[in-house]
Structure 1
Amino acid sequence: MQDTLKIALIQSDLVWEHPKENRLHFSEKIDTITETVDFILLPEMFTSGFTMTPENVFETMEGETVQWMKKLSKEKNAAIGGSLVIKEGGNFYNRFVFVTPNGTIDTYDKSHTFTLAGESDVYKAGCEKVIINYKGWKLCPLICYDLRFPVWARNVEHYDVLMYVANWPTPRVDAWDTLLKARAIENMSYCIGVNRVGSDANNLEYSGHSAAYDGLGKQLTSLENNKEGIEIVTLEKKHVSKIRTMLKFLDDKDVFTVK
């Protein structure tokens, strides 16, 4: 088990529906990371932007982007995670893909598809919460709109890190800031959110506000809003164990089952 986990948050603009250009863009950004990190976190739909025409950009789990992630993860000796459009069994998914240097892959399909944008009409919603075990840490990956639903994020698995990748637009970014902090506090875990910047083909603006919070809601990062950037944050296992031992708030949680 590793006592610390060093994560690189990459806040970036995205090229609309152009996976190859986005892969090249992220390759260049990742190459600028000279510090040793355990994990590199990319935004939601990092190969395309938040598109409702998945037929234009979809890939399979054997496709170019997953192969790119595997190759880069091995070269950098760091896990890489982010969501992209995957087609499987005749359905499109907004899927978080987590690749480790040894080639193992974990996936999570977005559970709460964004009805306001019609995501629920073209993407199949996932129905399984996923906990990733990596270097002795339990990571819970969720995607954008999932952030509005605290029951789904409820920490019954004793995870250490809750992480959201997003294309969360500027007009509602105050909600993003508030809910990320709330998810950290109520689950007594680190909470990380990586959001894009720039604008998309639907004239939606994104201002970033990517951040990491500790289990008491203290912000650990200072990425500049409205600009591309990379920030590395070091998480400490003793922080999680200390606050849960001292405060024991999770022991008093309501008992119910999510169906």
Structure 2
Amino acid sequence: MRVGLAQMDLVWENKEENIKKAEQMIIDAVKKQIDYLLFPEMSLTGFSMNVNVIGEKKDKSETLEVFSEFGKRYNVFIGIGYVEKRKEKAYNRYAIINPNGEVLIDYAKIHPFSYGEEGIYYTGGSKIEKADIKGVQTVPFICYDLRFPEVFQIASKDSCFITIAANWPKQRREHWITLLKARAIENQCYIAGVNRVGIGNGLEYSGDSMIISPYGEILSKNIEGEGIISADIDVTFALSYRNDFCLKKDRKEQLYLQLFHRPV
């Protein structure tokens, strides 16, 4: 499967302009024979806390309707981020849409970024979601989730491909790069991190979108500017590597649980 990452300069809280940009990127991706194209977190708005303005009802989501149509029109899998507006706190969501326009999964970000006040306006999800894309078991996470390795260990038990859609600021870019590589190495899986570029609400974003092999090698990377990168995901290679170097069999999860609950 060929995966593409759409590194965008998101226009702040302007869905119409971002939809136009995204459609052109989808067209470009199809020309490059990309099977699955991923967009950054909160793909049409940037990392906004203005839930009342950008939020959408899940059963009447403009974002899902538009990109379901794009999936059908261009015969491509799409990963897209949006905000679900609720009576209480909102959900920061990431959906995977297939070429029939069907929403395969609609993941809610487990870890709101409390340092950036996301926890004031958003609540965390409680499920790891997965989907089969052209024979590749895929799990999506969102931005701050990257800092919590436990969920990656759970996801990688039956998945060799994990994605992270982000709005990750330039000032912490070394964390982004290092953590992406670490998650690939410790889980022996492909990792794809798609980040935005440009300025959003006064913050600068460096991009650094990349696809990393189970060895921790960067297969493709976009350092700055808008554009699409791509790489092929080979499940057979990942599984062969896991069989040769059986890292997971040496994990002691029951002991970890005991240690976690034991007073220090």
TM-score class, shorter-chain normalisation, is: over 0.9
- Structure 2 portions without partners, runs of 5+: none
| Match in the other structure for 1:252 | 250
Establish whether residue 59 from structure 1 lines up as the match of residue 64 from structure 2: no
Change in 2 beyond 3 A, CA 1:137/1:88: farther
Q: Aligned with 1:142: secondary structure? A: strand
In 1, the alpha carbon distance for the partners of 2:184 and 2:5 equals 17
In 2, the alpha carbon distance for the partners of 1:29 and 1:240 equals 29
Give per-residue Cα distances to partners, 1:29-80, cap 9 Å, x unaligned.
2222312221010000011000011111111232221111111111121110
In 2, the alpha carbon distance for the partners of 1:21 and 1:50 equals 16
In 2, the alpha carbon distance for the partners of 1:231 and 1:147 equals 20
Between Structure 1 and Structure 2, the one with more helix by share is 2
| Match in the other structure for 1:27 | 23
Give per-residue Cα distances to partners, 1:114-151, cap 9 Å, x unaligned.
00111011011101111222222111100000000101
Does the 8 Å CA contact 2:211/2:230 hold for their aligned counterparts? Answer: no
Give per-residue Cα distances to partners, 1:68-111, cap 9 Å, x unaligned.
11111111211100211112465411001111112321111001
**Bigger mean CA offset, 143-152 vs 81-90:** 81-90
| Match in the other structure for 1:161 | 161
In 2, the alpha carbon distance for the partners of 1:88 and 1:79 equals 27
Does the 8 Å CA contact 2:70/2:101 hold for their aligned counterparts? Answer: no
Of all paired residues, the percent bearing the same amino acid is 35
Match of 2:71 among 58, 70, 73: 73
| Match in the other structure for 2:112 | 113
Change in 2 beyond 3 A, CA 1:222/1:134: closer
Residue identity in the other structure for 1:75: R
Q: Aligned with 1:221: secondary structure? A: strand
**Bigger mean CA offset, 189-198 vs 233-242:** 233-242
- Structure 1 portions without partners, runs of 5+: none
Establish whether residue 50 from structure 1 lines up as the match of residue 50 from structure 2: no
When normalised by structure 2's length, the TM-score is 0.91
Q: Aligned with 1:130: secondary structure? A: coil
Residue identity in the other structure for 1:23: I
When normalised by structure 1's length, the TM-score is 0.93
**Bigger mean CA offset, 55-64 vs 120-129:** 55-64
Establish whether residue 98 from structure 1 lines up as the match of residue 96 from structure 2: yes
